């Protein structure tokens, strides 16, 4: 079919990979990817439902894009990903011009579905889950040239009480190690030097008895892989064995993303997280003991139902004492169907939620900068990722700790190379340095 398409992606890294998968499926079927939205006959928004704000944003964006029907070439607009699973019918009534909705397990149906819409000029949706769908044989179409995301598992079985993911992405399923290794090899052959393995909870990866530490080791062993990262880990499943794999392999990034969500055990219990804060902090101690130079990042939710000022202060204490490099801080957003929506009342007032978020955001800003400042004077191994956005005569790269560094370009070094950079300054979330010759 001689039609053009454009995809806009929202949400997490999983969605970035999914958009690459969709692009690959559509190109194979003869559709043409275009760089500008105005050139597209088919517009797809790959969406996130994790918080209500994410849903509102997509609805507003799509309303805005409607005008492309008159000013551009738009013929079919569709919604992909998590929102169709979460908001299906409601979305259709708010955006009456959309012609398709497809959930995360049904992307293979897109070419046929689009053809059908052109033929029959009506709306279609595909929202079923498929426990066997891993898109193992689809090579994602990548536009980036230093880092590739490779999905190792899909879905989630954890059922944290606030979280919509198990409902919009379905049950957990792990992809075969062979297909992952094959994709890693292929990606490296294309000249990409850095790989991030992705899953909603990589620690529960299990393919015919192969668990995540073994998979990570096998991937780290692939010849030519300069840097390996992974996300996301769940504190209840994180093992010493996994940390030991990082210790043993120089090409695995010295960084960890380990959400704690809340500092109060009452809140953690109501969230169904499966650990106490003491257990979480013991895991942090274990990681830091084995990897003293590690950078740790986290996720936090404020304003979970019933969160008192005292509960919140416990979150503050954890942030003060743990020295995270960065924390992603979210205001609790009630999601329909989830256990917390059914069992609790969303009772923390909106203004109070906002105050709590702002308080820890300000606090973490200081703590994060303090972490960066500790690097001043040190020489770090940096992988050059791109030209700096602001100034073309500078490179942007990342240290082994995944910290962003900006430094002057000098000849002989290119994107994808490792260089030694002496850190001279830290500002905001960025380090500045100079290449050590």
Contact footprint for ligand SF4 (CB under 6 A): 11-12, 14-15, 48-50, 81-82, 164-165, 168-169
In whole angstroms, the minimum distance from the beta carbon of 163 to ligand 5AD comes to 4
- What x/- string results for residues 290 through 329 when contact with ligand 5AD is judged by CB under 6 A? ---------x-x----------------------------
Q: Give the separation between CA 191 and CA 185, rounded to whole angstroms.
A: 10
User: Taking CB under 6 A as the criterion, which residues in 154-183 touch ligand 5AD?
Assistant: 162-163
In whole angstroms, the minimum distance from the beta carbon of 93 to ligand 5AD comes to 23
Neighbours of 340 (CB within 10 A): 21
Assign residue 20 a region: left if phi > 0, alpha if psi is -120 to 50, beta otherwise? alpha
- From the list 199, 259, 305, 433, which residue makes contact with ligand 5AD (rule: CB under 6 A)? 259
Q: Which DSSP string do the residues of 138-172 spell out, in sequence order?
A: -------SSEEEEE-EES-----TT--HHHHH-S-
Q: Which DSSP string do the residues of 353-402 spell out, in sequence order?
A: HHHHHHHHHHHHHHHHHHHHHTTTT-EEEEEEEEE-SS-TTEEEEEETT-
Q: Give the separation between CA 417 and CA 302, rounded to whole angstroms.
A: 40
Q: According to the binding rule CB under 6 A, does residue 280 interact with ligand 5AD?
A: no
Is the CB of 201 or the CB of 315 nearer to ligand SF4?
A: 201
In whole angstroms, the minimum distance from the beta carbon of 333 to ligand 5AD comes to 4
In whole angstroms, the minimum distance from the beta carbon of 155 to ligand SF4 comes to 9
Question: Strand, coil or helix: what is 268?
Answer: helix
- From the list 205, 332, 395, 407, which residue makes contact with ligand 5AD (rule: CB under 6 A)? 332
In whole angstroms, the minimum distance from the beta carbon of 165 to ligand SF4 comes to 5
Size of the site for ligand 5AD (CB under 6 A): 12
**Parallel, antiparallel or unpaired: strands 227-231 and 194-198:** parallel
Q: Give the separation between CA 329 and CA 281, rounded to whole angstroms.
A: 18
- From the list 17, 51, 192, 270, which residue makes contact with ligand 5AD (rule: CB under 6 A)? 51
Q: According to the binding rule CB under 6 A, does residue 335 interact with ligand 5AD?
A: yes
* Residues paired with 427 in a beta bridge: 430
Which structure tokens are listed for 376? Answer: 């001043």
Give buried/exposed letters for 315-325 (b at 16+ CB in 10 A, else e).
bbebbeebebb
Q: According to the binding rule CB under 6 A, does residue 275 interact with ligand 5AD?
A: no
Is the CB of 128 or the CB of 366 nearer to ligand SF4?
A: 128
The option from ligand 5AD, ligand SF4, none interacting with 197 (CB < 5 to 8 A, set by class) reads none
Is the CB of 14 or the CB of 100 nearer to ligand SF4?
A: 14
Q: Which DSSP string do the residues of 212-241 spell out, in sequence order?
A: HHHHHHHHHTSTT--EEEEE---TTT--HH
The option from ligand SF4, ligand 5AD, none interacting with 14 (CB < 5 to 8 A, set by class) reads ligand SF4
Is the CB of 99 or the CB of 335 nearer to ligand 5AD?
A: 335
Question: Strand, coil or helix: what is 126?
Answer: strand
Question: Strand, coil or helix: what is 296?
Answer: strand
- Residue numbers at the binding site for ligand 5AD (CB under 6 A): 50-51, 162-163, 259, 261, 299, 301, 330, 332-333, 335
């Amino acid at each position: 079919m001689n039609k053009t398409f454009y995809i806009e992606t929202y949400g997490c890294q999983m969605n970035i990979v999914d958009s690459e998968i969709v692009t690959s499926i559509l190109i194979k079927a003869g559709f043409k990817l275009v760089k500008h939205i105005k050139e597209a006959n088919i517009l797809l928004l790959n969406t996130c439902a994790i918080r209500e704000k994410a849903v509102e944003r997509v609805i507003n964006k799509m309303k805005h894009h409607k005008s492309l029907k008159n000013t551009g070439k738009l013929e079919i607009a569709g919604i992909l990903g998590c929102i169709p699973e979460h908001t299906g019918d409601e979305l259709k009534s708010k955006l009456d011009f959309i012609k398709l909705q497809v959930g995360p397990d049904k992307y293979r149906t897109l070419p046929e579905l689009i053809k059908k819409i052109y033929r029959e000029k009506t709306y279609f949706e595909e929202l079923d889950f498929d426990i066997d769908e891993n898109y193992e044989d689809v090579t994602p179409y990548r536009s980036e040239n230093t880092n590739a995301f490779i999905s190792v598992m899909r879905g989630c079985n954890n059922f944290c009480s606030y979280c919509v993911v198990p409902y919009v992405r379905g049950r957990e399923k792990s992809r075969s190690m062979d297909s992952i290794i094959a994709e890693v090899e292929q990606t490296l052959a294309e000249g990409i030097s850095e790989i991030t393995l992705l899953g909603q909870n990589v620690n529960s990866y299990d393919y015919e008895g192969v668990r995540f530490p073994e998979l990570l080791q096998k991937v780290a062993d692939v010849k030519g892989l300069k840097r390996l990262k992974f996300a996301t880990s769940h504190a209840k499943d994180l093992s010493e064995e996994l940390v030991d794999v990082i210790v043993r392999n120089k090409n695995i990034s010295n960084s960890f993303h380990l959400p704690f969500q809340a500092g109060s055990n009452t809140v953690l219990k109501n969230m169904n997280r499966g650990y106490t804060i003491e257990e979480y902090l013991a895991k942090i101690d274990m990681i830091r003991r084995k990897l003293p130079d590690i950078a740790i990042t986290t996720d936090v939710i404020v304003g979970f139902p019933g969160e008192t000022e005292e509960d919140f202060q416990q979150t503050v204490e954890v942030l003060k004492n743990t020295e995270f490099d960065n924390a992603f801080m979210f205001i609790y957003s009630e999601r329909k169907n989830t256990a917390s929506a059914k069992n609790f009342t969303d009772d923390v007032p909106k203004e109070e939620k906002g105050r709590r978020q702002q308080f820890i955001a300000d606090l973490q800003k200081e703590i994060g900068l303090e972490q960066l400042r500790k690097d001043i004077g040190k020489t770090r191994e940096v992988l050059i990722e791109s030209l700096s956005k602001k100034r073309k005569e500078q490179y942007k790269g990342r240290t082994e700790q995944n910290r962003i560094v900006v430094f002057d370009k000098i000849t002989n070094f290119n994107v994808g190379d490792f260089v030694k950079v002496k850190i001279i300054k830290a500002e905001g979330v960025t380090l500045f340095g100079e290449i050590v010759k």
